[in-house]
Every structure is written in structure tokens, then in C-alpha cells.
Amino acid sequence: MSTSIREQALACREASIHVAGLSTERKRALLHDMAVALAADAATVLAANARDMEAARANGIGAAMLDRLRLDEGRLDGIVRAIGAVAALPDPVGRVTRSEVRPNGLVVERVRVPLGVIAMIYEARPNVTADAAALCLMAGNGVILRGGSDAMHSNLAIATAMRSALPAHGVPVDALTLVGDPSRETMVELLQLVDIVDLAIPRGGEGLIGFVTEHARVPVIKHYKGVCHLYVDSAADPALALRLLVNGKTSRPGVCNALETLLVHADIADTFVPAAVAALRERGVEVRACERSRAIVADLAAADNTDYGAEFLDLVIAMRVVDDLDAAIAHIRRFGSDHTEVIATRDEIAAERFVRELRSAVVMVNASSRFSDGGELGLGTEIGISTTRLHAYGPMGAESLTVERFVVRGNGQVRE
Amino acid sequence: MSTSIREQALACREASIHVAGLSTERKRALLHDMAVALAADAATVLAANARDMEAARANGIGAAMLDRLRLDEGRLDGIVRAIGAVAALPDPVGRVTRSEVRPNGLVVERVRVPLGVIAMIYEARPNVTADAAALCLMAGNGVILRGGSDAMHSNLAIATAMRSALPAHGVPVDALTLVGDPSRETMVELLQLVDIVDLAIPRGGEGLIGFVTEHARVPVIKHYKGVCHLYVDSAADPALALRLLVNGKTSRPGVCNALETLLVHADIADTFVPAAVAALRERGVEVRACERSRAIVADLAAADNTDYGAEFLDLVIAMRVVDDLDAAIAHIRRFGSDHTEVIATRDEIAAERFVRELRSAVVMVNASSRFSDGGELGLGTEIGISTTRLHAYGPMGAESLTVERFVVRGNGQVRE
């Protein structure tokens, strides 16, 4: 008889209490041992991955997804080293973030504690199995992994290796649970365990995010698409703006912090639009532009409203000339996804208005959108980039997998 | 034709952008004007409340609920003054909580921004209408209030007075929206507006919380019941422990931070149990006790497992003798509601274990559970006490109605 998802989740919650009680040094030793176990199991993991790859090819899976699924010795080594990097992070648990003495002598501290049990829902990326497990455990949580069925053998091999390190540190293996049943019914059941699961984090395409949001009764932090904008102000340094444009669009077009739309202030459009088009075309980028842009560079393809707001994840960009800063802000409010926006300007007042009036998770002044990443912003490894404006907003590191609670110390105070 | 809840919520979201842009001084002036407007409308509000009271009496509503519903000049004055107290709070919006310069020169700041639109779901307590509106607006949010139908006339009169102050400060009145349709269907529709409502906060009985959790698709922070425990350790100062017991149980038994269960270490039970029973009985408290307690004080009523875990909200307490600290922790883990727990002890190691091993939102050492309150812990006015271990855990003040985002300033940095 197979174990139900509820029983698995209950066992994970029970085990999570042991994880929460581990010291920083103990957690580091645990992750170290997990990395060693995974490296030792390399042949098993690669063989499991070969099975997944074979099935995926037989199922006619596309090239981009096949590439995300594929492991080799080099990639597996990267996964092992990433576990070590998580072990080196500062431990968020137990950190006293504020301490205050009240007039009646009570000492009120805010102290970070683990969330409890985190369910990670993702697609066919085996590296997420190791990354998410390491980060959740380092933050003192139990973790339930529900990966895509295309990567099931790879995920199982990785999880099995990592779990093998738990008992020696006094933690039941259920602290790291991989959901073995890839059915949607089981996923829905997991997402409705309100008395067990403290947070679900979906990472993947719009379909997955939508499905999780629709069916979850547990709290969800969404990692939705990144429709990132660069607004080139009339007071921009044109060379700097071009650098941000080329880097944002072309350095890695398939990721969520890549630029998708360029907005150009009308006052500089006559010179900046041709320069931008030339720089983009030189790197093979297709430009879809508004009528005002096309009046400047005649042979541009026309953009429509589906191009504004599109997450191309490819060498394609939408371009629009706007009257001023207000029009740029209005465009981003209408078409943006609250992920990352950039302004290029030397005008500090314009920069501050852009920062204040947009509510995106990350707002950049004169810097590339590609820095919107936990590692680049100083968080260490990230579990994703939240576009939910609650708990965490923007890149989420280990600290975002904990919450502040109150510890109060007195000497007999009572309330009048 | 009546306006749909979706249209109302959209108008609130549109108006919330104006609230988010207000300066601290402007928000304070706005709340001041709201307080003045409410005071000026006192006769209208009291007349509306009289209508609600009449209908409630005709509907056979119980005495406790009638008391919560009832307004008089003194209570209304208290509500007006509470708005002034919110206006005096520190403004959480725009606060830079961290600032770091990265090796590449990027300046990374974390800055608090409003959540957006908050839906407050509550029962027949007209004061919540004013408190929640003031706190949400002070934190830069739009607010949608859905109060109980029994208080509808009172809530409408209060909201109308407060809304009248908005236009003079450049904010559309929809920033403070009261849902006029008391049907459950409309509440469900509101709770599913995932593209508009950023957070729902239910406050009320278990039935309301359960209904909201069941039907919400928007994020919910629960304010669930408070089953607060006092554990009297073998190393406790008995006089101090008795003071915490009497204060925690009897100073205001009907609130969520009142004590509901007393746990006594076996080593001191022979002396502490009789003293506790005497002190409680003197104040009219009914004690329901375990067999070991009843072996010490013969005429105690027997507790069963429904008494452990019960939120009596009345002059009733459950009592249990436990073998040691571990047994106390195990009892609280099993029966507690993650709200507030207290240990009375002079043993610092026992105190730290109690703090570390329990995951409740507030843990007290040698202080009354009745201090588990936003005002008492230094947050100013509270919107409730979260028992959801995400975003906010424990008393929630204005800061909990905002979230940290990233502002990054560079001088042309691109990512390699």
C-alpha cells in the first residue's frame, strides 16, 4: 500500500521540528554531507537522467526543455558546488532583528524562526531539486518537492542521495520529501493541506503558476513572468543607455530578468531610436516598434498590444516612443508584471519619481535589469523572484524562508 | 444599476495608487480630518447604530455580541481618538531597512512599499471599520471593508464620514470602500479577485476564518484563536507564577490573549496546584483538571481532551500536571494554536529551551500573556494577531501592511 500524500506531508512536518532545532554548524555539516553523497552517487544520477532524457525525446519534448532537463558531469558538479554555497550562507534562524525595552521593563525581541514546511512545485529542472532542498533546510524548514514528471528519475536519484545524509545528523529522512506520484490530483491534494504546509512556491511557466494559484488553499508566493522595461529618459547618457539595453536584452534572453520592452523619451527619439535599432540588429534582435519609432526607422516591424506585455524570452524586443516620464510610468503600470524596471537618466528627480511611482519588486537606476537576481543583490542563492507583494517581493533568499516572531522577557509584569 | 464588487475593487485599486503617493504629513492630515468628520457626524452614526441594535435585538442576537455592536458617545469618542493615535504612528512607507554597496558599486536598498489593496473581513464590531481603515491608509494602502451585516448601518455611517475627508487630499473616495452587499456570494467574489486584492485579513470566530480560508484565492493572513498556555516550571517563583496566572485568566477573559490552560511541573504540584485553585476560585474561575491535579485537590472537575485546546473566552481554565519541560512542550505542540505561550521559571536554560522549541508567534518568559498585543509590544495600533506563519506572525501593526522591495542605483553597470 502506497503512502498517501497527507501521510508523507505529516511525516515531513514532524521531521521539520528536528530541522528547526539544528545549530548553524550542524546544518552546514549536513549540507556538506549531502553534497558529498550526491557526488558519490554521480553515476546513478546520470543513469537516471539518461532514462528521463530518452523518455523525453520519445515524447517529442522540445529542444529548450531537453536542455534544461539534461545533466552531465559538469552540470552535476555545479549542483554539488551549489549545495556547498548554500551551506556558506549566513543562517537566518535565530537572528534577532529588533530588540526594545518597554517602559514597564519588558524586553521585546523579534527573532527569525523557520516557516515550517515548504512545498516547492516546479517543472523539469533537476537542479531545482538540490537547490531548493538545500535552501529550505538551511533556513530550518522541512521541504516537499514536487517536480515535473519528465525529470522524475533524475529528481528521485538526487533526492535519495541527499536524504541519505540526514539520519547521521539526527533528522528523519522525511525532512526532505520528494512526491513520487506525478499526478495532478496528488499535487492538488498537497496544495490543500492547510494544517501541514506553510507555503507553496511554484516555479515555472504561466500554466503551472495559474494551476497552483487556482487550486491552492495553502499560502502561495508566485514567481510570475518578468516583463522587464528599460525607460531611456531625455536626460539619459545615450552610451550608458545603449549598454544597459544590449546587456539587458542579449546577455541571456531566456531568463526572467531579461529586458522585453524599450521605452524612449520623445525628445531623444530621433537619435536614440536609430542607435538602439542598430545595436540590437547587430546582435540579431528583432525589434517590434510603435508608429512613432517606425517614422524614424522605416523598416521596423509594427508592434501591437500583445507585444507590449509579452515575455518573449528570446531575441525579440518591443519598442515604444513615449511623450515623457508620466507616459513611461503609465505604460509600465498597464503592461508590466511588477518584476524589474530600469530607468536610464542623469536627472535625479526623474529617477526618484520613477522609483517612487512604480511598485515593481526591483527598480533600477542606471543599471542592467540582469542584476535582478539573489546572488547579484547580495542574498546568496535564491529560491526564486517573488512577484507576490506579500512576505517577500523580489529575489528570495534563505531569510525569506523564515518569519519574525516575538520573544518577550519579563520579571513578573502583569497587565493592568 | 448597482456597481459590481469587481468594479468597486478596481476603483479601490486605482485610488490606492494615490494613497501610496501621499507624504507622511499628508496622511496624518488626512486621518486628522477623518477623525474630525467622524466626530461631527456623531448623531448620524449613533442613530444608525440604534437601528442596527434594534434589528439585532429583534433577531435574538446574544448579549455579548450586542455589547460589541453597541456604540454610545463615549465609545464613539474612543474610536475618534484611535484614528488620531494611528496618525501619530511612525510611517512605515519609504523606510530604508537595509542598504549595501556591492563590489561592482551597485547600491542595493530595501525599501518598504504599501501592499496595495487590503480586504478586511470582520464581524459586527463597528470600531474595526474605523481602526482598520485608518491603519491601512496610514500604511499607504487602499482598503475594502466587509463587515458583518448586523452592523451594516453603523459601518456605513462611519465609512461615509471618513470617506468625506479624502477628496480634499487628492484621493478618490474609493480608497476606502465599504462593501454594501452583505451576501456571502459577494464576499466570495471579493476573496477571488486575485488580480486586484493583495491581502485578505479575516477577524472573527472560527466559522468566519474557516469560510474565508476555504473560499479565498487571494492571500490570507489568519487571525485564528488564542489557546494560550502558562507553564509553571519547577524552578518558578510561585508568587510570580500566581500573579501571571490570575492576570492572564481573569483580567479580560473574553480576549484571545487570555490564558486557557495551566501546566504545572510535577515537582511543585503538591504546593502550587492548591494555591492556584484557591486563587482562581476566589475570582470565580472554574477549573477543569487532570487526574493528577484531582489527586491533590479532591473536588476539582475532570478535564477531557476537548478542554485542552479549547478557547473558553470565559472564566474557565484547563489544568494539567506534567512530568517536566519536555512534557509541557509536547502538550503545547499538540493542543496549542501557535498564538502565545508563557513560562514561569528562574531557570534560564529551561526558559531558552521553551522559547526555542515552541514555534508560537509570541513566547513570554515571566510575563503575562495579556501583553501579547500590538500596543503593549510597541507596534502602536494593531490590525490583529497573525497565527499564519508567513509575512507577519503575532501582533500586526502598520509595518505589517507594507512589504520590502529592492531599489538599485548604479552608474551604468552591466552583467558579464
CATH classification of the domain holding A83? 3.40.605.10
Distance of CA B384 to the CA centre of its chain: 1
- State the helix-helix crossing angle for A126-138 and A73-87, rounded to 10 degrees: 10
Residues A232 and A301 grouped into a single domain: yes
Structural domain includes residue A248: yes
pLDDT tens-digit map of A334-375: 999 999 999 999 999 999 999 999 999 999 999 999 999 999
Here the CATH number for the domain that contains residue A237 is: 3.40.309.10
Contacts of B239 (CB under 8 A, 6+ apart): none
Q: Within an 8 Å CB–CB cutoff, is residue A2 touching chain B?
A: no
Residues A232 and A215 grouped into a single domain: no
**pLDDT band at A400; cut points 50, 70, 90:** very high
Residues B206 and B311 grouped into a single domain: no
Structural domain includes residue A33: yes
Contacts of B40 (CB under 8 A, 6+ apart): B161
Residues A246 and A356 grouped into a single domain: yes
Q: How much is the pLDDT for A107?
A: 98
Q: Are strands B340-344 and B228-232 parallel, antiparallel or unpaired?
A: parallel
Residues A268 and A239 grouped into a single domain: yes
Chain B partners of A362 at a C-beta cutoff of 8 Å? 405-408
Q: What is the pTM of this model?
A: 0.94
Nearest-angstrom CA–CA distance, A380 and A395: 10
Residues A55 and A190 grouped into a single domain: yes
Chain B partners of A416 at a C-beta cutoff of 8 Å? 251
Structural domain includes residue A319: yes
Residues within 8 A of B (CB atoms), A 55-74 only? none
Q: How much is the pLDDT for B1?
A: 43
Q: What DSSP character marks residue B223?
A: B
Nearest-angstrom CA–CA distance, B276 and B306: 21
pLDDT tens-digit map of A110-130: 999 999 999 999 998 899 999
Q: What DSSP character marks residue A378?
A: T
Q: Is B113 helix (H, G, I), strand (E, B) or coil?
A: strand
Residues B59 and B108 grouped into a single domain: yes
Q: Is B29 within 8 Å of B169 (Cβ atoms)?
A: yes
Tell me what ipTM this predicted complex has: 0.95
Nearest-angstrom CA–CA distance, B8 and B197: 11
Chain A partners of B240 at a C-beta cutoff of 8 Å? 411-412
Q: Is the pLDDT of residue A1 over 60?
A: no
Structural domain includes residue B416: no
User: What percent of chain A is modeled with pLDDT above 70?
Assistant: 100
Nearest to A403 among B114, B390, B415 (CB): B390
Residues B312 and B211 grouped into a single domain: no
Structural domain includes residue A387: no
Q: Among A23, A389, A401, pick the best mutation site for testing chain B contact (most B Cβ within 10 A).
A: A389
Structural domain includes residue A416: no
Torsion-angle region of B174 (φ positive above 0: left; ψ -120 to 50: alpha; else: beta): alpha
Q: How much is the pLDDT for B2?
A: 62
Nearest to A156 by CA among A180, A176, A135: A180
Nearest-angstrom CA–CA distance, B258 and B317: 10
Residues B213 and B232 grouped into a single domain: no
**Å between B256 CA and nearest CA of chain A:** 14
Q: Within an 8 Å CB–CB cutoff, is residue A365 touching chain B?
A: yes
Q: Is B126 within 8 Å of B154 (Cβ atoms)?
A: yes
When divided into structural domains, chain A yields a total of: 2
> Which residue's C-alpha cell is 481554565?
B317
Nearest to A4 by CA among A163, A151, A190, A149: A190
B98 grid coordinates: 537595509
Contacts of B76 (CB under 8 A, 6+ apart): B38, B39, B42, B45, B46
Q: Among A399, A408, A416, pick the best mutation site for testing chain B contact (most B Cβ within 10 A).
A: A408
Residues within 8 A of A (CB atoms), B 15-34 only? 17, 20-21
The low-confidence residues of chain B, meaning pLDDT below 70, are 1-2
**pLDDT band at A2; cut points 50, 70, 90:** low
Contacts of A148 (CB under 8 A, 6+ apart): A122, A123, A124, A125, A182, A204
Structural domain includes residue A382: no
Q: How much is the pLDDT for A124?
A: 82
Residues A57 and A130 grouped into a single domain: yes
The lowest-confidence range among A59-63, A322-326, B199-203, B366-370 is A59-63
Residues within 8 A of A (CB atoms), B 370-389 only? 370-372, 376-378, 388-389
Residues B180 and B276 grouped into a single domain: no
Q: How much is the pLDDT for A349?
A: 98
pLDDT tens-digit map of A186-223: 999 999 999 999 999 999 888 999 999 889 999 999 88
Q: Among B408, B409, B411, B416, pick the best mutation site for testing chain A contact (most A Cβ within 10 A).
A: B408
State the DSSP string of B227-260.
Answer: -EEEEE-TT--HHHHHHHHHHHHHS-TTSTTSEE
Nearest to A403 among B237, B372, B393 (CB): B393
A237 grid coordinates: 547618457
Structural domain includes residue B255: yes
Residues B173 and B314 grouped into a single domain: no
Which structural domain range is residue A290 located in?
228-377
